[in-house]
């Protein structure tokens, strides 16, 4: 057992975990942040993607102890109160989900992609390639791609939530 401390969604948190505890289990079971999902548990599906020190990462493949001292953002940390993050709003607007299980990871990966490439600088091919670490079994991806392109363009125009998105 070890005490780990990190910043999650802007809040300093700490907890006692076994050395083998995965970050996703620390987030879900100790912090109650159940928005981050465990899909495949074999590092392939991307449902567990969160941001660790500003970079998209699979929280099922990182030990909580490895993330000690890091800054973590989960899907719960994106919205500004009742105001959705532009990527969340675009997924809603464009029906970028059906069952919703992959959606938290899909959105965290999309925010990372837009931040990395720059808002407004994505095309369809870049979105499809950029999201190839996230599997969706419902949508056929079409509406997800539309949502990410729409969000990217909205963020380039300085849509609400831009500053928040950059921080995430």
Partner 1 sequence: MLETTYARAGSVAEAVKLNKAGKGEGKYLAGGHTLIPAMKQRLASPSVLVDVARIGELKGVKVTGRKVTIGAATTHAEVAADEKLRAVCPALCHLAGHIGDQHVRHRGTIGGSIANNDPAADYPAALLALDATIVTDKREIAADKFFKGLFETSLKDGELIKAVTFTAPAKAGYAKFPNPASRYAMAGVFVAGQKDGPRVAVTGAGDDGVFRSKELEAALGKGLDASKIDGVKVPPKGLMSDIHATAEYRAALVKAMAKRAAAATAS
Binding mask 25-64 for partner 1 (x = CB under 8 A): ----------------xxxx-x--x--x--xxxx--xxx-
Q: Which residues, other chains included, contact 132 with Cβ-Cβ below 8 Å and sequence gap of 6+?
A: none
Binding mask 109-148 for partner 1 (x = CB under 8 A): x--xx----------------x-xxx--------------
Torsion of CA 144, 93, 54, 122, to 10 degrees: 60
Out of 16, 18, 83, 124, point to the residue binding partner 1 (CB under 8 A). Answer: 18
Nearest approach in angstroms of CB 128 to partner 1 is 12
Q: For residues 60 and 39, what is the distance between their CA atoms, to the nearest angstrom? A: 9
Select 57 or 147, whichever has its Cβ closest to partner 1: 57
Out of 7, 30, 66, 71, point to the residue binding partner 1 (CB under 8 A). Answer: 66
Sheet holding 71-73, edge to edge: 11-17, 2-8, 71-73, 49-52, 55-58
DSSP one-letter string for 38-53: -S-SSS-S-TTEEEET
Which residues sit at the interface with partner 1, rule CB under 8 A? 2, 18-20, 22, 41-44, 46, 49, 52, 55-58, 61-63, 65-66, 68, 109, 112-113, 130, 132-134
């Amino acid at each position: 057992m070890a005490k780990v401390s990190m910043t999650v969604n802007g809040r300093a948190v700490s907890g006692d975990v076994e050395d083998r505890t995965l970050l996703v289990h620390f987030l879900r079971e100790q912090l109650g942040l159940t928005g981050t999902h465990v899909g495949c548990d074999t590092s392939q599906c991307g449902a567990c993607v969160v941001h660790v020190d500003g970079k998209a990462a699979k929280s099922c493949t990182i030990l909580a102890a490895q993330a000690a001292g890091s800054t973590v953002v989960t899907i719960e940390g994106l919205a500004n109160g009742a105001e959705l993050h532009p990527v969340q709003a675009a997924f809603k607007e464009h029906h970028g989900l059906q069952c919703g299980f992959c959606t938290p990871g899909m959105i965290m990966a999309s925010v990372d992609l837009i931040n990395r490439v720059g808002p407004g600088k994505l095309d369809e091919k870049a979105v499809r390639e950029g999201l190839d670490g996230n599997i969706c079994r419902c949508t056929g991806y079409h509406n997800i791609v539309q949502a990410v392109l729409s969000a990217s363009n909205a963020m380039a125009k300085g849509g609400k939530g831009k500053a928040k998105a950059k921080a995430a």
